Amino acid sequence: MNLDDHARLVADGRFPAPADAAVPGHLSVLYRGRLSSCNYDCGYCPFAKAYDSRGALRRDAEDLRRFVDWAAQQRRPLSILFTPWGEGLVRRHYRDALTTLSHLPQLRRVAIQTNLCVGMRWLDAVDTARLALWCTYHPSQVARSAFLARCRELDRRGVRHSVGMVARREDLDEIEALRAQLPARTPMWLNAFDPRPPDYYDAAQVERLQRIDPHFRYNLEPAPSLGAPCLTGERVISVDGDGNVRRCHFVAEPLGNLYDGSYAAQLRPRACPNARCDCYIGYAHRPDLPFLRDYAGGVLERVPAAPADA
């Protein structure tokens, strides 16, 4: 299917238009700076217990301040998702950035991926109407009771959030236990364990995981992507610490730089150049998949639309 076919199907109502399509000039920004350190030690993660030098952290903080200053100067509506390789909320400069951004009138949403390990007092200064957290539970690193207590505090404060896990086979019972103890209104997502052998899950295990996350198969068996329509490079961009803009984290081709504005002339409808896309923050922006509809208003934070919002 080419882009002309996609435009026709959107017009016919067979593919959903993005939830922010009615907001003129809206841009979603996926920011990934230099941070690559994490306080957790998950055995499957390459960033487990990694440490950034003081110099690297200082540079990351400077880059982040520059990005926040850029966002503050914008007049177009923005949504921002921070996708650090490591854990951002343990660093004050990320908490400060989220706080500042949450008060900008042009910000529709600011969100971050987090293991939710930090205390909650920093949220006192945040405009929680604009903040969202994408929270991952790591059972080898934190007790379920402690993680659930933090989720309850997010509920009490009215912080929009989703909760998820890496779907390791040895954690199947823990996945179901977490789902059972979370409020029904809290969305729970699952990422397939990767890399894995072809027979890692059996049919019964996939069915159990599918009951927790109805979209699990899209992560387990990614649809072919080459030539598929995608909003990245048009209404969604990826930015690194130097301000280099790419269409997404998974396409190396540069579109320009955020700070000299050269990227703006390159924004246009594009098809995916990759054979497949197996990460939610990439394929969620494909209009031929259900996420723009099912997660309307919450694609960045992985929060499905409530019936009233759909």
Task: State how far the Cα of 287 lies from the Cα of 170, in Å rounded to an integer.
Answer: 34
Residue with tokens 């969202």: 132
| Helices and strands, number each (H, E), in the chain | 9, 11
User: Per the structure block, which two tokens stand in for 54?
Assistant: 């003081």
Q: Give pLDDT, residue 49.
A: 65
One pLDDT digit (tens) per residue for the chain, 310 residues:
333 444 444 434 444 444 454 466 899 999 999 998 888 878 777 666 678 899 999 999 999 999 999 999 999 999 999 999 989 999 999 999 999 999 999 999 999 999 999 999 999 999 999 999 999 999 999 999 999 999 999 999 999 999 999 999 999 999 999 999 999 999 999 999 988 998 999 999 999 999 999 999 999 999 899 999 999 999 999 999 999 999 999 999 999 999 999 999 999 999 999 999 999 999 999 999 999 999 999 999 999 987 434 3
- Output the pTM of the full model: 0.90
The predicted structure's pLDDT at residue 213: 97
Q: In a 3-state reduction of DSSP, which class is residue 28?
A: strand
Gyration radius (Cα) of the chain, Å: 19
Q: How many CB atoms lie within 10 A of CB 185?
A: 7
Structural domains of the chain, with CATH: 3-13+28-292 (3.20.20)
Tokens representing residue 205 in the block: 């295990």
Q: In sequence order, which ranges of 196-277 are alpha helices (DSSP H)?
A: 203-212, 216-220
pLDDT at 41: 78
> What tokens does 159 get?
């912080």
The pLDDT value given to residue 117 = 94
Q: How far apart are CA 115 and CA 127, in angstroms?
A: 21
List phi, psi (to 5°) of 59: -65, -40
